[in-house]
C-alpha cells in the first residue's frame, strides 16, 4: 500500500476562528483503498478539518486557513462543496439528506439523472426538458445498492424505511458518483443498531477493496479497531498520534483522545465532606426523549453538597439528563429530592422544588436576548416564586405589578458579585460577551435560591479567562452557599478540575462514576463503553 500514490494529502493545516486556534498544524493523508480513522473528542477539530476539505463557505468567510490540500499530488484550492465533489470527494452525512417522498432510485440519482432527448428539449435546446431515462436510473441505482449488498427494491419510496437503510442509501448515492475516489463518513454508526453498524462496517471494507479511500470519523473505538488501517488522533486541534493498525490498542487510543494534563488545583475545603449517607437527589431509571441526546434508563444518586460532574461523548445522553429532569423534554422514570417525588415534564414543578438549570443552549433557551439584564435575571424567580413583585393585590398574584426598584437593586447586586461586565442592568444581553452572558444565566438561576443547580456546558463558547471565572464561581457557590451542583460538560478537563465525582454516561445509561484523579485511560475506556462497573 505504501507504494501507491497518495490520493489525498492535507498538510500543515492551521485554522483560527476569531483568534481561537481550532486546528494547529494538522496533517493527514489517504491512500487508495485504505480506511483511515480520524478520532477525537468533541471540539478536537474533526469537523473543522472536514469543512476545510469540503471548501465549506464557513471556512472562507472566517478568514480561510493556512496549509495545503493535495489531491493526487496536485495542490487544489477547494472553494465550495461543489468543487470538492468534482475533485472526487464524497460525504456521507450524519443527518440523512434524503427526500422522503421520492423513491430510492430518485434519491440516489437526484440532479444527476441520465436523460433522453424529446421534441421539446430539442426545440429549446435545453437539457432540463429532457425525459428522465428511468431504466438507466434504476440500473445504476441497482448497481450501487448491489455493491453495498443491499437487497432492497430500488423503486421503493424512502419514507418509512428503517433508519439503517437510509444510511445505506446515502452511501449508495455517493458511490454512484463515478468520479468519487475519497469518501468521508462522519459518524455513520451514531444512529444505527449494532447489527446495522456491523453491516455498515462490512460495506466500508468492501468499498475500500474497490479502491476507494475512506476517511472514517467516529467516537467508537471498537469500530476503529475493526476496520481502520491507520488511525489519526486529534486533540484540542492538534495531531497527537498517528498509529498503524498493528500498533494500536483501544486503551492507548482512549488515553490519547482525552489525555490532558490536569492542572491540580487546590479546591477550598468543606466543613463536612459530602457522602452517600446524605443523598440530595435520587434519579431512578430516567428516560428522556431528547433528540440526539437520548437518556435510556439512567439511575444516579447525588450527594448533598457535592459537585457532581456528568461526562460522556456527544450523543450519549449526558445533556438529556438535566433537560429531562427540568421538564424541557419528555421524560419518564422517578426523580426524588430529599425523598420527595418530583413530577416530571413540568418545568414549574421542578423549579418550585428548589431545582434550577443553566442550559447548554445559552442563546436559545437561557436568555431573552433583546431584553435587559435585570429582566433576564429576574423573570424566572418572578414567575415561579413571585419575587420582584409588589405585594398588592394579595389574592391575585398574576396581576401584581413588577417591583422595578427591587429587581434593579438585585440585578446590580448580582452584577457586582458575579463581576458581569456591562453598562448597567438596562443593557440588552445580546450585546454582552459570551462569558458575561453565561454569568447572567447563572445569576438567573441564583435568583431562585436553588438547593440543587444543574449546569450544562458552562464554558462552551466563552474565552479562556472567562472559563476560569465561571468555574471559580461555581466552586464558590458550592462552598459558600452549599448549593449541590450537577455539572454536565463535554470538556472532561474542567469536570476533573472542579468536581468531587465524575459520572460517565454511555448510550443513555450510567457507565460508571470515577474520582476526578482517575487516569486518562480509565476515563477514555469508560467513555468508549469498554467498562461498565461502578468505580467509586
- Enumerate binding residues for another protein (CB under 8 A): 326-328, 346-348, 351-352, 357, 359, 361, 364-371, 375, 379-380, 382-384, 386, 389, 397-402
Cα separation, 503 vs 526, in Å, equals 10
Q: To which H or E segment does residue 332 belong?
A: strand 331-337
According to DSSP, the β-strands at 331-337 and 509-514 are unpaired
- The CB-of-405 to another protein minimum distance in angstroms stands at 13
Question: Please, which residue, 213 or 448, has the CB nearer to another protein?
Answer: 448
C-alpha 367/C-alpha 358 separation (Å) is: 10
Question: Smallest Cα–Cα separation from 30: which of 157, 185, 197, 247?
Answer: 185
Q: What is the smallest separation between the CB atom of 407 and another protein, expressed in angstroms? A: 10
Shortest spacing between CB 237 and another protein, in angstroms: 31
Distance in Å, CB of 379 to another protein, minimum = 6
Dihedral over Cα of 339, 345, 350, 352: its sign: negative
Q: Is the peptide bond before 393 cis (omega within 30 degrees of 0)?
A: yes
Residue tagged 448580582 (cell numbers)? 414
What span, in angstroms and rounded, lies between the C-alpha atoms of 123 and 489? 62
Q: Using the minimum distance from each CB to another protein, give the nearer residue, 185 or 388.
A: 388
278 Ramachandran zone, left/alpha/beta (phi>0; psi -120 to 50): beta
Angle at 445 (CA atoms; ends 443, 446), nearest 5 degrees: 60
Beta-carbon count within 10 A of 32 CB: 18
Minimum distance from residue 347 beta carbon to another protein (Å): 5
- Map grid coordinates 423534554 to a residue: 329
Which lies closer to another protein via its Cβ, residue 211 or residue 393? 393
CA dihedral 195, 490, 305, 327 (to 10 degrees): -70
Cell of 259: 489525555
d(CA 316, CA 220): 11
Q: What is the 3-state secondary structure (H, E, C) of 446-477?
A: HCCCCCEEEEECCCCCCCHHHHHHHHHHHHHH
Q: Which C-beta is closer to another protein: that of 487 or that of 514?
A: 487
Cβ closer to another protein: 367 or 525? 367
**Residues 298 and 510 sit within 8 Å (Cβ to Cβ):** yes
CA distance 469 to 458: 11
Shortest Cβ 361–another protein spacing (Å): 8
Smallest separation, CB 377 to another protein (Å): 12
Quote the least distance from Cβ 341 to another protein, whole Å. 18
Closest approach of Cβ 457 to another protein, in Å?
A: 15
Q: Which single residue is written with the C-alpha cell 422522503?
A: 100
By beta-carbon proximity to another protein, the closer residue of 40 and 327 is 327
Name 249's Cβ contacts closer than 8 Å, sequence gap at least 6: none
* Closer residue to another protein, CB minimum distance, 355 or 462: 355
Q: Is residue 20 helix, strand or coil?
A: strand
Residue closer to another protein by CB (options 105, 380) is 380
- Residue number with CB closer to another protein (32 or 327): 327
- Given a contact cutoff of 8 angstroms between Cβ atoms, the answer to whether 307 and 301 are in contact is no
> Residue 238 or 361: which CB sits closer to another protein?
361
* Nearer CB in complex with another protein: 101/397: 397
The least distance separating another protein from the CB of residue 128, rounded to whole angstroms, comes to 30
Least distance in angstroms from the C-beta of 397 to another protein: 6
State how far the Cα of 461 lies from the Cα of 239, in Å rounded to an integer: 22
Q: CA 182: distance to chain centroid?
A: 25
Paired residues of 504 in beta bridges: 311, 512
Residue closer to another protein by CB (options 269, 364) is: 364
The strand order across the sheet containing 307-311 reads 355-358, 452-456, 484-488, 307-311, 501-506, 509-514
- Choose between 379 and 485: whose C-beta lies nearer to another protein: 379
- For residue 42, report the phi and psi dihedrals to the nearest 5 degrees: -60, 140
Q: How far apart are CA 388 and CA 408, in angstroms?
A: 9
> Please, what is the minimum distance in Å from the beta carbon of residue 431 to another protein?
15
Amino acid at each position: 500500500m505504501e507504494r501507491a500514490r497518495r490520493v489525498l494529502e492535507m498538510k500543515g493545516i492551521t485554522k483560527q476562528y476569531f483568534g481561537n486556534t481550532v486546528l494547529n498544524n494538522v496533517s493527514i493523508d489517504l491512500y487508495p483503498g485504505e480506511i483511515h480513522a480520524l478520532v477525537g473528542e468533541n471540539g478536537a477539530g474533526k469537523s473543522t478539518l472536514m469543512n476545510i476539505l469540503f471548501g465549506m463557505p464557513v471556512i472562507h468567510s472566517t478568514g480561510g486557513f493556512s496549509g495545503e490540500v493535495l489531491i493526487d499530488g496536485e495542490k487544489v484550492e477547494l472553494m465550495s462543496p461543489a468543487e470538492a465533489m468534482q475533485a472526487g470527494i464524497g460525504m456521507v452525512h450524519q443527518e440523512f439528506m434524503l427526500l422522503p417522498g421520492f423513491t430510492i432510485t430518485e434519491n440516489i440519482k437526484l440532479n444527476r439523472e441520465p436523460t433522453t432527448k424529446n421534441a421539446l428539449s430539442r426545440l429549446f435546446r435545453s437539457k432540463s426538458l429532457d425525459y428522465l431515462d428511468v431504466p438507466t436510473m434504476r440500473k445504476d441505482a441497482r448497481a450501487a445498492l448491489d455493491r453495498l449488498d443491499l437487497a432492497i427494491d430500488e423503486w421503493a419510496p424512502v419514507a418509512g424505511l428503517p433508519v439503517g437503510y437510509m444510511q445505506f442509501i446515502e452511501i449508495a448515492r455517493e458511490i454512484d458518483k463515478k468520479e468519487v475516489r475519497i469518501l468521508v463518513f462522519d459518524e455513520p454508526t451514531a444512529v444505527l443498531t449494532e447489527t446495522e453498524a456491523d453491516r455498515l462496517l462490512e460495506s466500508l471494507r468492501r468499498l475500500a477493496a474497490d479502491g476507494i479511500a475512506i476517511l472514517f470519523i467516529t467516537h467508537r473505538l471498537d469500530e476503529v479497531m475493526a476496520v481502520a488501517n491507520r488511525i489519526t488522533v486529534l486533540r484540542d486541534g492538534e495531531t497527537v498520534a498517528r498509529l498503524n493498525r498493528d500498533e494500536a490498542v483501544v486503551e492507548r487510543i482512549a488515553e490519547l483522545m482525552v489525555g490532558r494534563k490536569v492542572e491540580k488545583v487546590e479546591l477550598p475545603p468543606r466543613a463536612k465532606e459530602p457522602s452517600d449517607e446524605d443523598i440530595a437527589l435520587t434519579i431512578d431509571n430516567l428516560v428522556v426523549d431528547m433528540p440526539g441526546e437520548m437518556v435510556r434508563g439512567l439511575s444516579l444518586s447525588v450527594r448533598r453538597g457535592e459537585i457532581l460532574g456528568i461526562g460522556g461523548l456527544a450523543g450519549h445522553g449526558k445533556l438529556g439528563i438535566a433537560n429531562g429532569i427540568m421538564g424541557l423534554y419528555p421524560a419518564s422514570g422517578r426523580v426524588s429530592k430529599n425523598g420527595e417525588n418530583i413530577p416530571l415534564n413540568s418545568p414549574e414543578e421542578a423549579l418550585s422544588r428548589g431545582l434550577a438549570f443553566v442550559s447548554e443552549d445559552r442563546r436559545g433557551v437561557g436568555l431573552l436576548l433583546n431584553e435587559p439584564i435585570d429582566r433576564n435575571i429576574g423573570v424566572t424567580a418572578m414567575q415561579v416564586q413571585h419575587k420582584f413583585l409588589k405585594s398588592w393585590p394579595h389574592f391575585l398574584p398574576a396581576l401584581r405589578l413588577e417591583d422595578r426598584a427591587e429587581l434593579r437593586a438585585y440585578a446590580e447586586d448580582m452584577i457586582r458579585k458575579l463581576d458581569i461586565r456591562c453598562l448597567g442592568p438596562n443593557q440588552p444581553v445580546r450585546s454582552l460577551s459570551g462569558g458575561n452572558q453565561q454569568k447572567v444565566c447563572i445569576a438567573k438561576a441564583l435568583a431562585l435560591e436553588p438547593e440543587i443547580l444543574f449546569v450544562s456546558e458552562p464554558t462552551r463558547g466563552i474565552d479562556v479567562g472567562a472559563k476560569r471565572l465561571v468555574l471559580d464561581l461555581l466552586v464558590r457557590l458550592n462552598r459558600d452557599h452549599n448549593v449541590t451542583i450537577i455539572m454536565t460538560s463535554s470538556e472532561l478537563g474542567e469536570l476533573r478540575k472542579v468536581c468531587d465525582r465524575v459520572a460517565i454516561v454511555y448510550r443513555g445509561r450510567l457507565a460508571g462514576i470515577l474520582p476526578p484523579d482517575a487516569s486518562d485511560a480509565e476515563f477514555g475506556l469508560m467513555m468508549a463503553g469498554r467498562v461498565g462497573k461502578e468505580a467509586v
